[in-house]
Amino acid sequence: MSDHHIQLPEGSIEKQTNTLNLGPTHPATHGVFQNILEMDGERIVSATPTVGYIHRAFEKIAERKPYYQITPLTDRLNYCSAPINNIGWHLTVENSWHQNP
């Protein structure tokens, strides 16, 4: 992020832009998406999106753990829908177990 603001032409609402750090706007997007906006009053002059990672190397961590130790990891994949992640994980394990006992 730069330390300078954009100088605006004559007739703008302000003399220079203001920086607005927008996001995350929902708990489920924590660490996933952020916008750094340069604003001329209410008008967006420029936007710099930042895309992050929500899984935090979940796949690599899970490779070395037994099945029962992975549930706490799936709990933290998404703060708002942990049960969905857990159900997906448990159904996958159960289906693979029944197919390859």
> Are 73 and 89 a contacting pair, CB within 8 Å?
no
Q: What is the pLDDT of residue 25?
A: 67
Question: Which tens digits make up the pLDDT trace of 46-69?
Answer: 898 877 665 567 778 888 898 888
Q: What is the pLDDT of residue 45?
A: 87
Q: What is the pLDDT of residue 93?
A: 87
Q: What is the pTM of this model?
A: 0.45
